[in-house]
Structure 1
Amino acid sequence: MCDNGGNPPLHVKSGHRHRRTAVSVHQSYEYGSPGYLLLCGLGGMMSCGLTHTAIVPLDLVKCRMQVDPGKYKSILRGFTVTVQDDGLRGLALGWAPTFLGYSMQGFFKFGLYEVFKIRYAELLGPEKAYAWRTGLYLAASATAEFFADVALSPMEAVKVRVQTQPGFARTLRAALPRMYGEEGLWAFYKGVAPLWMRQIPYTMMKFACFERTVEALYKYVVPKPQSQCTKAEQLAVTFVAGYIAGVFCAVVSHPADSVVSVLNKEKGSTALEVLRRLGFGGVWKGLFARIIMIGTLTALQWFIYDSVKVYLKLPRPPVPQAPESFKKQK
C-alpha cells in the first residue's frame, strides 16, 4: 500500500559488507525478491501472532459461547462466569498455542499471498491482471490460506481444548502430550477441513475486500492521491480498510468457526455431525462477539503488517491503475 518514499531499493555491494547498516539492509530488497517475500512473511507472523494473542480473553469467551450457550449466554455473562470459575488468570487460557499457531499461520498467509499474487499476475499479463484483479486477490489468498491452515491446525486444536474443556489442561505443555497420548496425530489435524471451511472464505474476503476498499478510499474519500499522502495518512487508510474487511470476514466465516470450536472440544465427532446438531441458529451463536473481535483483529493485522513494511522500507506497489493498453481496449 504505502510507497517507499519514491526511492528505488538500494543494493548492497558484496565488497562493502563490513559497512552494511540497518538502513542499507532495509533498502536492499526488490519487490518480489526472495528477501522481500521472506520479510513479508515475518511481518505477517508479527501481525497475526501479536493480535490473536492480545484478544485471547474475547476469543475464549466467544468459544465458550459456541460450545455451551446455556451457561455463557452473552459476552458480559461469559466474562463474569469465566472469572468466577477460573479467576482473572483464566481469561488468558490458551495464550501460548494461540501465539505459536497464529504466528505460523501469519507467516504463510501473508508471505504466500504476496508470492501467489505476483505469480498469478505474471501468468495473466498486465491487462487481465488489472481487469480481473478481484479474482486474482481471491485466488492468491485462497491458495495461501490452504497452506497456512495446515500450519495452524495443531495449535488451534490445543487452544480450543484448553479453553473449552474444563479440567483437561491449563497449559500447552500439559495439553500437547495428553492429546497425542489419547488420540495420536489425528487430534491435531481432525479440524483442518473445518479450518479450511472457516479460514479460506475469511481470508479471501480479508484480502480482496481490503485491497478493493483501499482503492475505493483513495478514489472517493481521501482528498489527494496516494503518492501525496504521508505514511501516517496511508496507515490510517490501512486501518479503516482493514476494519471494514474484518466485519465482512466475521460474517462469512462464523458458521465454520462454530463447528471448529465444538469439534475440537469433543472426541469422535465429525464436522458434518456437529453441523447437523448445531442447526442454523446454533452456528450463529457468538456472532456479535466475533464481529468485534475480527473487525479489530483484521484492522490491527493490516496496520501492523503495513507498519513493518514501512519500517523495513520494503517497496510496495501503489493502488492499481489501468495499464495504457487496457485503456485503449476500452
Structure 2
Amino acid sequence: MVFTPSYWIQSAAEKKPAGIKLYSPEYYAACTIGGIAACGPTHALVTPLDLVKCKRQVDPKLYTGNVQAWRSIIASQGLGGIFTGFGATIIGYSAQGAGKYGFYELFKKQYSDLVGEEFASKYNTLVYLAASASAEVIADVLLCPWESLKVRTQTSNTAYSSVFDAWKKVTAVEGVAGLYKGLAPLWCRQVPYTMVKFASFEKTVQAIYSYLPKAKEDYSLLAQTGVSFLGGYIAGVFCAVVSHPADVMVSKINAEKQAGESMGAAVGRIYGKIGFSGLWNGLPTRIVMIGTLTGLQWLLYDSFKAAVGLPTTGSKK
C-alpha cells in the first residue's frame, strides 16, 4: 500500500500501473478486503444510532428522540449501553461487506462480458442493478445470523453478555435455523437497498465527473475519493427511503415473531398492528445514518483500492 502524501495528490494519469492485474483473482481478493474495511467499521461506528432506531421501530412510544434515548440508556446501563449490538454488527457487516463488494465486482465483469461491450456500455445501469442484486443475495446469507443477534440484543429483554453468549443461548433453543428466520425480509430490505446503492452511486459519480472540467484520471486520488464520498452520501439518501419499510419489518419480525408462526402470518399480524404509517417509523434517523454510512463506505472502499494501486470506482468522463 502507498500512504505518502505525494501519491494521493498526483493525478491518476501520472501514476505507475497497478501491480494487481484488473479482474484477476488478486483483484477480486483486494475488492473483498476493501468491502470488509468499508462495511464492518462504519456500521459498528453508528451502533448508537442503530440501537435507537431499532428500539423505536419496535416501540415508537419508547423515546421522544435520539438524545433522550441515549440519556435514558446511559442512565440505566452506563455509557457502554448505547453500543449494545456492537459485536454482532461488526462481525455481520464485515462478512456482508466482503460478499457485497467482492461479488459485485465479479458479477459486474461477468455480466458485462455476457451481454457484450456495446450493450454493457449503453445499458450500464442494468448491469449495475443485476450485479448488485446478485451480490447482495449472497452477502445477506453471511449477514443474516448476526443481524438477527444484533436485533435481539438491542430489542429483547433477555440479557446477553456478548454476541457469542447470544449465539449460544438462541441456538440452544431454536437451532441455527432460528437465526435465519429473518432472511426473506432481510433480502426484501437489502437487495433493493444495494441495487439503489450501487447503481445510484455509479450514475452519481458519472454525473459529477461530467460537470467537472477534466477527465477522472486527471484528478488526484484525494479528489477522486472525495467524489466517492459525495456520490456515496447522495446514494445513501435514496437507499434509506427505498429500504426503510423492510427494515422496520425485519426489526419487528426478529423481535416479535411467535414460535411456530409462518413468515407470512407474522408479516400480516405485524402490519395489521402498525399499519402503513408504522413502516416509516425512524426514517429521519435512518436517512442520517445510511447517508453517512454509505458515503463513508465508498470513501473507505475506494481509498483502499487506491492504496493498493487500483482505480477508484466509477466510469471515466
TM-score (norm 2): 0.91
How far does the alpha carbon of each residue in 1:260-298 deviate from its partner, in whole angstroms, 9 at most, with x for none?
111111242535233333211111000000000000000
- The CA deviation at 1:5 is 4.1
Output aligned runs, 1:29-178, within 5 Å.
29-178=20-169
Q: Is the 8 A contact 2:12 2:221 kept in 1?
A: no
- The CA deviation at 1:181 is 1.1
| Stretch moving more, 179-188 or 262-271 | 262-271
Supply the distance in 1 between the matched residues of 2:217 and 2:95 (Cα, whole angstroms): 33
Q: Residue in 2 aligned with 1:28?
A: 19
Supply the distance in 2 between the matched residues of 1:252 and 1:3 (Cα, whole angstroms): 36
Q: Is the 8 A contact 2:224 2:312 kept in 1?
A: no
> Residues 3 and 201 (structure 1 numbering): CA distance in 2 closer, same or farther, change over 3 Å?
farther
Within the alignment, does 1:251 sit opposite 2:241 as a pair?
yes
Q: Is the 8 A contact 2:54 2:154 kept in 1?
A: yes
| Stretch moving more, 56-65 or 309-318 | 309-318
Within the alignment, does 1:272 sit opposite 2:267 as a pair?
yes
Within the alignment, does 1:261 sit opposite 2:255 as a pair?
no
- The CA deviation at 1:164 is 0.7
Within the alignment, does 1:284 sit opposite 2:280 as a pair?
yes
Supply the distance in 2 between the matched residues of 1:4 and 1:124 (Cα, whole angstroms): 29
- The CA deviation at 1:243 is 0.3
RMSD between aligned residues: 1.8
Q: Is the 8 A contact 1:94 1:163 kept in 2?
A: yes
Q: Is the 8 A contact 2:216 2:316 kept in 1?
A: no
Supply the distance in 1 between the matched residues of 2:225 and 2:19 (Cα, whole angstroms): 23
Supply the distance in 2 between the matched residues of 1:121 and 1:3 (Cα, whole angstroms): 28
Q: Residue in 2 aligned with 1:24?
A: none
What percentage of aligned pairs have identical amino acids?
Answer: 46
Q: Residue in 1 aligned with 2:3?
A: none
- Unpaired runs of 5+ in structure 2? 1-9
Aligned length: 302
Q: Residue in 2 aligned with 1:306?
A: 302
Q: Residue in 2 aligned with 1:21?
A: none
- The CA deviation at 1:156 is 0.4
Output aligned runs, 1:196-235, within 5 Å.
196-220=187-211, 222-235=212-225
- The CA deviation at 1:36 is 0.2
| Stretch moving more, 87-96 or 300-309 | 87-96
Q: Is the 8 A contact 1:130 1:320 kept in 2?
A: no
- The CA deviation at 1:75 is 2.0
Letter in 1 for 2:171: Y
- The CA deviation at 1:227 is 1.8
> Residues 318 and 88 (structure 1 numbering): CA distance in 2 closer, same or farther, change over 3 Å?
closer
- The CA deviation at 1:320 is 4.8
Q: Is the 8 A contact 1:4 1:310 kept in 2?
A: no
Supply the distance in 2 between the matched residues of 1:150 and 1:8 (Cα, whole angstroms): 38
Q: Is the 8 A contact 2:248 2:279 kept in 1?
A: yes
How far does the alpha carbon of each residue in 1:90-117 deviate from its partner, in whole angstroms, 9 at most, with x for none?
0111111101000000000000000000
Q: Residue in 2 aligned with 1:17?
A: none
Q: Is the 8 A contact 1:41 1:111 kept in 2?
A: yes
- The CA deviation at 1:29 is 1.6
Q: Residue in 2 aligned with 1:13?
A: none
- The CA deviation at 1:87 is 1.9
Q: Is the 8 A contact 1:93 1:170 kept in 2?
A: no
How far does the alpha carbon of each residue in 1:111-142 deviate from its partner, in whole angstroms, 9 at most, with x for none?
00000000000011111001110111000000
4+ residue runs over 3 A deviation: 2-9, 315-318
How far does the alpha carbon of each residue in 1:176-229 deviate from its partner, in whole angstroms, 9 at most, with x for none?
111001111222100110100000000000000000000100112x23221211
- Unpaired runs of 5+ in structure 1? 10-26, 322-330
Q: Is the 8 A contact 1:254 1:284 kept in 2?
A: yes
Letter in 1 for 2:282: G
Supply the distance in 2 between the matched residues of 1:104 and 1:291 (Cα, whole angstroms): 23
Q: Residue in 1 aligned with 2:7?
A: none
Supply the distance in 1 between the matched residues of 2:14 and 2:104 (Cα, whole angstroms): 24
Q: Is the 8 A contact 1:158 1:176 kept in 2?
A: yes
Q: Residue in 2 aligned with 1:194?
A: 185
Letter in 2 for 1:276: G
> Residues 260 and 170 (structure 1 numbering): CA distance in 2 closer, same or farther, change over 3 Å?
farther
Larger Rg: 1
SS at match of 2:149: helix
> Residues 193 and 6 (structure 1 numbering): CA distance in 2 closer, same or farther, change over 3 Å?
farther
